[in-house]
Structure 1
């Protein structure tokens, strides 16, 4: 394609305001800035209601109070989903920055609005792509020590029941039974954890006719398959 000829310089003076607007985008109006500031203020006020005054974060006690206000038990999966939405890094704690991220994403700034938003949040998390991310997050969120890469069997059983129990009840019940009686595995890593979700999604149950021992499954899944096949014989 031939180059376009250079245009003659225009003698018309440019409007400085229009240059600034095109370069940086529309300038927010004073009213929109005021509204945004007000929303942050309300969000922070709500945070302060549950935060520990000395540490400046919502700690386990504050989360208990939050759950009471939301009228849900602290073991409700939607609280874990809320932590996922906040991108919370430390189990049982919400920082102000995390709180702002979560409430802004949910478009809420009062406890009443947050309570009403929980069903929609659950619906969002249940979407396949989101749930895959949430499932991995649930494992990561439970790693409470620096450089920790494994979770004990008891924690895994509780987590499986909470995260997958409502969708894959039969598989989860058998998995938990197996994990509690087996003696070969004391802890579970992320790869094995992801494998449980893959197993529930991909393997026909309870016949397991499409499970192939030659494929690259973590060894714990091969062992679970053999245990269950013997149990069903």
Structure 2
């Protein structure tokens, strides 16, 4: 194989594996410049070990309610204590997303076990050591949006289509309070309404978009012809009046 083809395969190996040129050459020469087999072997060699399930089962049993078999409020509080965080620390929402938890205040065995495996943790101590990394996801705009949107379904009462205003306000303050000064205006607008509406999924998700636009551009960035939820349209109308 000529030098140009070798350089091309080294480049492709690096793109696929996010590694360096030295490693790329090592694997490609080992497999006679067969890119597919070289990448496959590299991925096999560098794959993180799957956590053992027995320690995870022991950890789960420490926190579960013996009657229901689930980790419930008290167990989650103890879990947070062992992690060195408060139950209202937003990072617990990041963890809950990795667990793919379906109901706030409950971790089922499969959620806990599969979540810990996805985090490559076979103990609570290992998870604790990863908290700084998980916390950084709250500052990453793309990852934060995924967490924020997950929280809506996770926080609804079982069988309810929408999220209660009371719950939404608590969660907005927890997730958005330090990000958007306009948030308290929004909450005040909702709470003073004669009729208190539950919050729809559309309103929940698009509020974050609106606050980000407002933070960058103010009301000038708001497009009234956009498909905004009615509550946000009415909020903008009130803001416009107060600014005149």
TM-score bracket for the superposition, by shorter chain length: 0.7 to 0.9
CA–CA distance in structure 2, aligned partners of residues 64 and 196 of structure 1: 30
SS at match of 1:217: coil
Where structure 1 has 5 or more consecutive residues not aligned to the other structure, the ranges are 1-21, 27-34
> Which residue pairs with 1:151 in the alignment?
163
1:137 corresponds to which of 143, 150, 158 = 150
Following TM superposition, by how much is the alpha carbon of 1:132 offset from its aligned partner in structure 2, in angstroms? 2.1
Following TM superposition, by how much is the alpha carbon of 1:204 offset from its aligned partner in structure 2, in angstroms? 4.3
Where structure 2 has 5 or more consecutive residues not aligned to the other structure, the ranges are 1-36, 42-48
The reply to whether residue 82 of structure 1 matches residue 98 of structure 2 is no
CA–CA distance in structure 2, aligned partners of residues 177 and 206 of structure 1: 22
> Which residue pairs with 1:183 in the alignment?
194
Following TM superposition, by how much is the alpha carbon of 1:230 offset from its aligned partner in structure 2, in angstroms? 2.5
> Which residue pairs with 1:231 in the alignment?
242
SS at match of 2:101: coil
> Which residue pairs with 1:122 in the alignment?
135
SS at match of 2:220: coil
> Which residue pairs with 1:103 in the alignment?
116
CA–CA distance in structure 2, aligned partners of residues 144 and 204 of structure 1: 31
**Residues 204-223 of structure 1: pairs in structure 2 closer than 5 A:** 204=215, 207-223=218-234
> Which residue pairs with 2:70 in the alignment?
57
Following TM superposition, by how much is the alpha carbon of 1:193 offset from its aligned partner in structure 2, in angstroms? 0.7
CA–CA distance in structure 2, aligned partners of residues 210 and 55 of structure 1: 50
Do 2:157 and 2:163's aligned partners in 1 also have CA atoms closer than 8 Å? no
Do 2:103 and 2:158's aligned partners in 1 also have CA atoms closer than 8 Å? no
Do 1:157 and 1:179's aligned partners in 2 also have CA atoms closer than 8 Å? no
SS at match of 1:187: coil
Change (3 A) 1:230 1:57: same
1:165 corresponds to which of 167, 177, 186 = 177
Change (3 A) 1:188 1:202: same
CA–CA distance in structure 2, aligned partners of residues 210 and 125 of structure 1: 24
CA–CA distance in structure 1, aligned partners of residues 60 and 215 of structure 2: 45
Name the Cα RMSD after superposition. 2.4
CA–CA distance in structure 1, aligned partners of residues 175 and 94 of structure 2: 10
CA–CA distance in structure 1, aligned partners of residues 217 and 237 of structure 2: 13
Following TM superposition, by how much is the alpha carbon of 1:166 offset from its aligned partner in structure 2, in angstroms? 2.5
For 1:150-209, what per-residue CA distance to the aligned partner results, in whole angstroms no more than 9, with x for missing partners?
1222111111111222222x0212211212112344211000111101101223468411
CA–CA distance in structure 2, aligned partners of residues 82 and 165 of structure 1: 20
